[in-house]
Amino acid sequence: MIKNLRTTLRHVTEPDLPILSRVSGDIVARGEFNPSIIASPQAIQKRFQENGFSSDQHELLLICDESEAVIGDVVHFQARRYSTAREIGWTIHDPINRNRGYATEAVTALIDYLFKSFPINRIECSTATQNLASIRLAEKCGLIREGVLRGLVFVGGVYLDDLVFSILRSEWEQRQEKARTSLPSTPLNVSNHID
């Protein structure tokens, strides 16, 4: 479990499966830029029984708000067969919770967790060129725009181009150092707590 100021990232538990089933079939909850393939409740149950949505190849963490309600999810998985790079993704399920800083806090915590816990040098993400909210979020979290992957994702019957963003360990370390040196002289207890 990763606790932040307003959000908690945690693993999926069995009582969460109805939420994942609902989100899988809800285009609004998944967002207009995510693939539109729907997973069945049986497929979700099977995957949970196999590995609890957590393995070396792929890990899904739920985003919970201040009241511990599930409001979204973050994911990380191996980006390239030949590297240690991880790719990340995020979703805030209910549009009412979007643009409120929850995803930024969750993605920042995920990036911190990955660099602190895994011997990786690169974290990347990609998002549709039209997805302005995710582009802003990636940039706020310190990811740098690298280029366009043409016709990458099939969504709603069309192929969308995606922008690729990444952050290297050295860049993350520089951001960490800058954040430490810009803290007020009175220490605040705002660091992530990983259980």
Domains plus CATH for the chain? 2-194 (3.40.630.30)
Look at residue 108 and tell me whether its pLDDT is greater than 50: yes
Angle at the Cα of 167 (from 161 to 172), degrees rounded to 5? 160
Look at residue 131 and tell me whether its pLDDT is greater than 60: yes
pTM of the model: 0.88
According to DSSP, residue 54 is labeled B
pLDDT, average across residues 92-115 = 96
Q: To the nearest 10°, the Cα dihedral for 80, 72, 36, 152?
A: -30
